[in-house]
Chain A
Amino acid sequence: MAEIKAFEFKQCVNILKSTGRKAGNLHDLRDAISKISDKSIIHHTYHYFLKVHVFEYTNDFAHWTGESLEERALSEHLSNIDPYGFENVKDLRNELLNVIDNYLKQFPEPRAAMHDDEFYFNETITLIFHANVRAGNLAEFLLGIRHVDPASIYYHFYEARARLKNRADDFSTWIEDSLKKDGLAERIRAIDPFMHNIEGIRGHIVMAVEEEVKNDMELIR
C-alpha cells in the first residue's frame, strides 16, 4: 500500500500597506480601481474573507458602496462578482469597472461618502508559514482542523482557490488525491465559501470529516 502523503497545515499573515490613495465617491472609486496595483485589487477582493466580513458582501468595494455610500443596488451587483471565477486580476478588475460603469449610466450622480469615511486603497504583504501541525490520516486531520488558527482555514480553503489550477481548496484536494475519498472531497467542495465565515467553514468541514471517521470506525468494528 502506497504511503499517504501527510497534510501540512500552513497559514498566512497579511501585513497591511497603504497605497496613499483614497476615494470619497463612486467616480473616485472607479478611477482608482482602473489604476491601482494588482496587489490592491487582490487585497480588497480575495482577502475580504480573512476579515470579519459581512455576509451580504464579498469584497471591500461592495462593503463600502453598501455601508458608506448606501448604494445598495450597486453593492449587490459588486457582491455577485466571484473573485475565484477569473483567470487573472486584469479580468477581475475589468468586471469591477463594468459593474460600476453600468450603475453610473443609470445613476450618474451618486452620493459622496461622509468625511472620514472614505475608501482607503491598501495592499498586503503576505507571509506564509507552517502552522506546525501535520496530519497523516483522516483522524489526525480532524484534530488538526479543530486546532488550527482561522488564518490556516483561510489559507487552505479560500486562498487555495486562487493558487490551485483546479480552483478547489487544499483540504478536498488532499482528501481526494491522498486518501482517495472522493465522496468526502465532494462534500467539502460543496461548502459555499460565500455563505459562511471562517468558523462556519471550519464547523462544516469538522462535521463532514467526523461523520466519515465514524463510518470508517464502524466498518472496522
Chain B
Amino acid sequence: MIEQYSGISPKGDLILLQKLGERLKDKTFLHINSTREGGGVAEILQRMLPLIKELGVNVRWEIIEGDKRFFDITKRIHNALQGSPEKISDDMWDYHLEVNRKNSQKLNFEADAVFIHDPQPAPLINFKKGGKWLWRCHIDLSNPIKDVCGYLMQYCEKFDSAIFSVARFTRAMPVDEFIIPPSIDPMSEKNKTLPDDEVRKIMERLKIPLDRPVILQISRFDRFKDPIGVVNAYRMVKKYNDCVLVLAGSPASDDPEGEAVLNEVREYAKEDPDIYIDAAAIQR
C-alpha cells in the first residue's frame, strides 16, 4: 500500500514512516472510537490501520457500543463543543460514564499506546490499566459551550497527551498537546479520480443530468455541515447559471441526528427538481 503514495507524498515522509515502523515494530497500538462506518474518524481509521500494519506495527481498532440514549447524549456533547447551545444534565453525564464503564469491561485495553477518538469514548480513561493514552480530538473546539467543555476536560486532562487538528482548537491543558492537521488520503475510494465512463454510468444510475454544471457536497447530514446553507448558495448561483445540486452522504451509526437533518433538507429542497439528495450514495 505504501508504495502507492510514491510520487504523491513527499519522499521524506515515506522514508520517515518506514524508519518509525522499524522503531515501533515491537509495540502495540489500539484505536477506539464509536463507529466503524460513516464520518471522518471511521474513514481515517479504515485507511490508516492497514498502512500502519504494513509498516510492521501491531495495531488494533475497537469500537464502543451504546444505545440510542447514549448517542443522543454524545451528539449533544459534540454539538455543544462546536458552539451550539446545549444543556447536558448530571444524569446525562452519569449515563455517558456508565456506558463507557460497561464498554471497559468488554474491551481489551492491552496496548503500549491507546488512542481514544473524540468525546464519546473519552471516559474510558477512568478505566486505564497501562500504556500511554492519547486523546485525539477531531472536533472544532475554538468556541465551545464552556460548562460542557469544562466537564469533558476532566476526562481529557487525565490522558498522557492530546492531539488537535489546528492550534485554534487547543486548550490550556496540563498535558502535552500535539497539533496534527487533518489530511486527505488521495488513494481512498472517496478521493480517487474516476474515469469519465464510470462517472457517466453513476450519474445515469442516479438519474442526475450531465448537461449542466454540478454543484456537489459530500458529507454526513449534519447541521454543522450546513446542507441548508449549501441549498441557499446553490439557489444564488442558479439565478444566473443553470446548474444542478447533488448532496451525497453516508449515514454514521453514532449520529442519531442524521435522519432528521436529511428529512429537513429533503423538505427544504422538495420544490426543486434539480436538487438530487442521496443519503447512501457513497456506500453503493
Residues of A within 8 A of B (CB): 11, 13, 15-18, 20-21, 116, 118, 120, 122, 127, 129-132, 147-152
Q: Are B168 and A120 in contact (CB under 8 A)?
A: yes
Q: Measured between C-beta atoms, what is the minimum distance from A31 to chain B in Å?
A: 15
A116 to chain B: which residues have CB within 8 Å?
142-143, 168
Q: Is B19 located at the chain interface by the 8 A CB criterion?
A: yes
Pick from B10, B143, B168, B170: contact of A149, CB under 8 Å: B10
A11 to chain B: which residues have CB within 8 Å?
12
Interface flags for B3-44 (1: CB within 8 Å of A; 0: not) read 000000011110110010000000000000000000000000
Q: Measured between C-beta atoms, what is the minimum distance from B250 to chain A in Å?
A: 30
Q: From residue 44 to 66 of chain B, which have CB atoms closer than 8 A to chain A?
A: none
B180 to chain A: which residues have CB within 8 Å?
15-16
Measured between alpha carbons, how far is A13 from B164 in the docked complex, in Å? 18
Residues of B within 8 A of A (CB): 10-13, 15-16, 19, 142-143, 164, 167-168, 170-173, 176-180
In the A-B complex, list the 7 residue pairs whose CB atoms are closest, starting with the nearest.
A120-B167, A18-B170, A20-B172, A16-B179, A18-B177, A149-B12, A11-B12
Q: Using known A-B contacts A122-B179, A149-B10, A151-B10, determine if residue A18 contacts B167 with beta carbons closer than 8 Å.
A: yes
Pick from B142, B143, B164: contact of A18, CB under 8 Å: B164
Pick from A13, A20, A118, A132: contact of B13, CB under 8 Å: A13
B12 to chain A: which residues have CB within 8 Å?
11, 13, 129, 131, 148-149, 151-152
Measured between alpha carbons, how far is A20 from B16 in the docked complex, in Å? 28
Measured between alpha carbons, how far is A148 from B12 in the docked complex, in Å? 8
13 A-B pairs with C-beta separation under 8 A: A18-B167, A20-B171, A116-B143, A116-B168, A120-B168, A122-B167, A129-B12, A129-B19, A131-B12, A132-B15, A149-B10, A149-B11, A152-B12
Q: Measured between C-beta atoms, what is the minimum distance from A2 to chain B in Å?
A: 31
Q: Measured between C-beta atoms, what is the minimum distance from B76 to chain A in Å?
A: 24
Pick from A18, A129, A150: contact of B16, CB under 8 Å: A129
Measured between alpha carbons, how far is A77 from B177 in the docked complex, in Å? 32
Most chain A CB inside 10 Å of its own CB: which residue of B10, B171, B173, B180: B10
Q: Are B172 and A21 in contact (CB under 8 A)?
A: yes
Q: Are B15 and A17 in contact (CB under 8 A)?
A: no
Q: Are B11 and A15 in contact (CB under 8 A)?
A: no
Q: Tell me the nearest residue of chain B to A117, going by C-beta.
A: B168
Q: Are A17 and B11 in contact (CB under 8 A)?
A: no
Q: Are A16 and B178 in contact (CB under 8 A)?
A: yes
Q: Measured between C-beta atoms, what is the minimum distance from A50 to chain B in Å?
A: 12
